Amino acid sequence: LAKTTQPISMDSYEGQEVNITCSHNNIATNDYITWYQQFPSQGPRFIIQGYKTKVTNEVASLFIPADRKSSTLSLPRVSLSDTAVYYCLVGDVYGSGNTGKLIFGQGTTLQVKP
């Protein structure tokens, strides 16, 4: 199982770009990297997912180096509403119906200030 390590907390200001890095040294060949956002009193929700190189969607970008042992979530021009906990999850999520344990790390609490 790929163990993930992230910074516990980060502070930013509105309008800045925020980059959160996750370390996953023992990532397996079939593992994908998925980032989730969680607001208080809610379940986590999907932000972005990738396998290698760079992925971009309407809310974030995900950068994955060639060795795949880390990944960086990039949030452009954050606002106060981006204050949340961000989790990096690594696992085989397309395992033909027999996916295994999906273990969350401690997450990164992002505080966006005015």
Partner 1 sequence: NAGVTQTPKFQVLKTGQSMTLQCAQDMNHNSMYWYRQDPGMGLRLIYYSASEGTTDKGEVPNGYNVSRLNKREFSLRLESAAPSQTSVYFCASMMGELFFGEGSRLTVL
Applying CB under 8 A, the residues found at the interface with partner 1 are 32, 34, 36, 41-46, 49, 85, 87, 89, 93-95, 97-107
Q: How far is the CB of 7 from partner 1 (least distance, A)?
A: 13
Label residues 29-60 b or e (16+ Cβ within 10 Å = b): eebbbbbbbbeeeeebeebbebeeeebeeeeb
Closer residue to partner 1 (CB): 44 or 71 = 44
Closer residue to partner 1 (CB): 15 or 95 = 95
Q: How far apart are CA 52 and CA 33, in angstroms?
A: 9
Closer residue to partner 1 (CB): 63 or 104 = 104
Residue/partner pairs of 58-67 with CB below 8 Å, 24 or more apart: 60/35, 62/33, 62/35, 64/33
Closer residue to partner 1 (CB): 6 or 70 = 6
Q: How far is the CB of 30 from partner 1 (least distance, A)?
A: 13
Q: How far is the CB of 113 from partner 1 (least distance, A)?
A: 20
Q: How far is the CB of 46 from partner 1 (least distance, A)?
A: 4
Q: How far apart are CA 84 and CA 63, in angstroms?
A: 20
